[in-house]
Structure 1
Amino acid sequence: MRRLPVYLLLDTSGSMRGEPIEAVNTGIRVMVSALRQDPHALETVHVSIITFDADARVLTPLTALDELQLPHITTPQSGPTHLGLALETLCSQVRREVLRSTAEQKGDWAPYLFVMTDGKPSDLQMFEQQSPKVRALGFANIIGCVAGPKARREDLTPLCDHVVALDTMDSVGFTSLFKWVTAAISGGNRSMGATSTVSLPPPPPEIQIVL
């Protein structure tokens, strides 16, 4: 069975401390639980979690759903949002983990990337350098979420195919976000190979598609 790699890049900068990051933890648990109820996703979806603040960390390398042990994500007291560094880390992981098709065998399906941030990249020059490199890796879909009042859709436009906005950074908002992400993964998972166009499910009221 060919794999569908799914990469999650999650902002853990200081501004995410407290309720926002706990809501993210809850949302991810909801997402993984729902995907495990989908037999086809359980066979194909593999998940990687990368966080970024002053540093970028691979918390979970690409792992099958039935083997996935979710980490408890935390944040520092304060600190910058080094999304550019996270993209550089992502590129290394994708090149290492995603199997490409060869004459002898079919590789993985084109991967999905979800990026969530509540602010502008602090390392803007690196972000601008790494964005085209990420896009060149052949993702089926790159979806960004700007959360909270300080984040702007323009900050993720160079990287993402679609950007959604989440006004509230509480458990209700992030749970809705990750349920929607789940639907996007499941829909893409079922359509792999059937169409060249990857469409997104309608978002819940808490989420606005802005790109």
Structure 2
Amino acid sequence: MRRLPVYFLLDTSGSMHGEPIQALNNALSTMINTLRTDAQALDSLWLSIITFDREVKEIVPLTELPSFQLPEITCPQSGPTHTGKALEVLQAKVKDEVKKGSETQKGDWKPLLFLFTDGKPSDLQLYREMIPQIKALNFGAIVCCAAGHLADDSLLKELTNDVVHLDTADNATLKQFFKWVSETIEQGNKSQGTGENVTLPPPPSEITVVI
């Protein structure tokens, strides 16, 4: 069975401490449960979660959906947001994990990337250096989400055209965002084999698409 690898890069810097990180845990848990009700996702979906603050951690390596177990995600009370370093780790993982097609075997479907942040990169130079390298990996979709007034939409637009903004990182808003993410993943599953990139479903009212 060909896999659909989906990578999550999640900001766990100090500004996420408290209610936002709790809301993120709840929303991710709901999303995983939703995806498990989709037979096609159970067959093909593989998920990876990488968090970034002052450190970058792969908290769940690329794992098939039926075996996926979501740990409690935590964050420090303060500290920088190393988004560039996170992209560097992601690049190495994708190159190592996503199977390319050959004459003898079909490779994986184009991977999907969802990046969530409530701030801006502390390592801006590395972030900008990594952008062309991430774009060269041929993702089926790269979706960035900026949450709250400290997140910088314009920097995310340098990475992808698909940027959305949330006013807050509270429970209700994050649940709506990750519900939309699960719909996007399901859409990605259905469009595999066409060779096209994934068309994003219309977002709910809590999500502003950044033009």
- TM interval, shorter chain, is over 0.9
Matched residues, number: 211
How many angstroms does 1:197 deviate by?
4.2
| Cα displacement (A) at 1:198 | 2.0
Aligned partner of 1:157 in structure 2 is 157
**Structure-2 separation of matches of 1:67 and 1:161:** 32
Question: Following superposition of structure 1 onto structure 2, how do residues 87-102 of structure 1 map, counting pairs within 5 Å?
Answer: 87-102=87-102
1:74-120 superposed Cα distances (whole Å, 9 cap, x missing partner): 00010000000000000111111111111110110000000000111
Letter of the 1:87 partner, please give it: L
Q: Which runs of 5+ in 1 are unaligned?
A: none
The corresponding residue for 1:176 is: 176
For structure 2, the 5+ residue unaligned runs are none
User: Are 2:141 and 2:197, in contact at CA under 8 Å, matched by a contact in 1?
Assistant: no
Q: What amino acid is the match of 1:153?
A: D
RMSD of Structure 2 on Structure 1 (CA): 0.9
Helix, strand or coil: the match of 2:145?
strand
Deviating 4+ runs (over 6 angstroms)? none
1:72 correspondence with 2:41: no
Write the letter of the residue equivalent to 1:37: T
Letter in 1 for 2:210: V
CA distance in 1, matches of 2:90, 2:161: 17
1:46-125 equivalences in 2 (<5 Å): 46-125=46-125
Question: What SS class does the counterpart of residue 156 from structure 1 fall into?
Answer: helix
Q: Could you tell me how far 1:168 is from its partner in structure 2?
A: 1.5
After superposition, the C-alpha distances for 1:104-153 in whole angstroms (9 at most, x for unaligned) are 10110000000000111000000000111111011010000000111121
TM-score, scaled to structure 1: 0.98
Q: Percent identity?
A: 52
How many angstroms does 1:160 deviate by? Answer: 1.8
Query: Structure 1 CA distance, aligned partners of 2:110 and 2:34?
Result: 22
